[in-house]
């Protein structure tokens, strides 16, 4: 890998790590490990690579790898004649994240529909036009959630089909 690509990967590991750290409530090094695994792809990365590339101690990397495996976010494979474990993303974990996202969006949509219905009923009661609720935000947000859900369901189908091929 060229120096430029190596630097780009390092910067992306950091950016993605910060995002994963806050989103998934993971420890900083644990989030960087997951980021590095994501950016390494299906060729996998070894324990030794993680220690070297992330400048972390062996015990720290080992602890976090075990935790990520317990969370079913990563898995490993071995190569014939090679004693190393190669860590990769667990595709099922990606599908679970998508399911969680869909459930969250569904709950938000239901809440916005309820709020909109309440405001519509209140608007019927209010005679002064200037005091009526503006419902455009709710309409737009519900539309956004519908479109986002449709899009993520398409991604989920593609990932599922890809898993079933392998």
Domain match, 60 and 35 both: yes
Helix (H, G, I), strand (E, B) or coil at 88: strand
pTM of the model: 0.74
- Residue 166 pLDDT > 70, yes or no? no
Total number of domains in the chain: 2
Q: Which of 57, 89, 121 is the last residue of a domain?
A: 89
Q: Do 67 and 109 fall into the same domain? A: no
At which of 89, 110, 125 does a domain end?
89
d(CA 49, CA 133): 57
Q: Are residues 85 and 126 in the same domain?
A: no
Residues 103-155 pLDDT 10s: 999 999 999 999 999 999 999 999 999 999 999 999 999 999 999 999 999 99
Containing structural domain, residue 45: 3-89
Q: Which residues pair with 86 in a beta bridge?
A: 77
In this structure, are 106 and 71 located in the same domain?
no
Q: What is the DSSP letter of 73?
A: S
């Amino acid at each position: 890998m060229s120096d430029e690509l190596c630097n780009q990967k390092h910067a992306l590991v950091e950016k993605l790590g910060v995002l994963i750290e806050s989103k998934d409530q993971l420890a900083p090094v644990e989030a960087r490990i997951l980021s590095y695994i994501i950016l390494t792809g299906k060729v996998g990365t070894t324990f030794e690579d993680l220690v070297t590339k992330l400048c972390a101690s062996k015990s720290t990397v080992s602890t976090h790898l075990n935790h990520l495996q317990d969370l079913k976010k990563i898995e490993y494979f071995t190569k014939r004649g090679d004693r190393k474990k190669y860590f990769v993303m667990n595709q099922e974990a990606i599908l679970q994240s998508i399911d969680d996202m869909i459930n969250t969006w569904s709950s938000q949509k239901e809440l916005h529909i309820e709020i909109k219905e309440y405001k519509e009923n209140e608007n019927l009661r209010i005679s002064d036009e200037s005091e009526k609720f503006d419902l455009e935000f709710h309409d737009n947000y519900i539309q956004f959630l519908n479109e986002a859900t449709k899009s993520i369901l398409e991604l989920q189908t593609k990932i599922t089909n890809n898993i079933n091929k392998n």
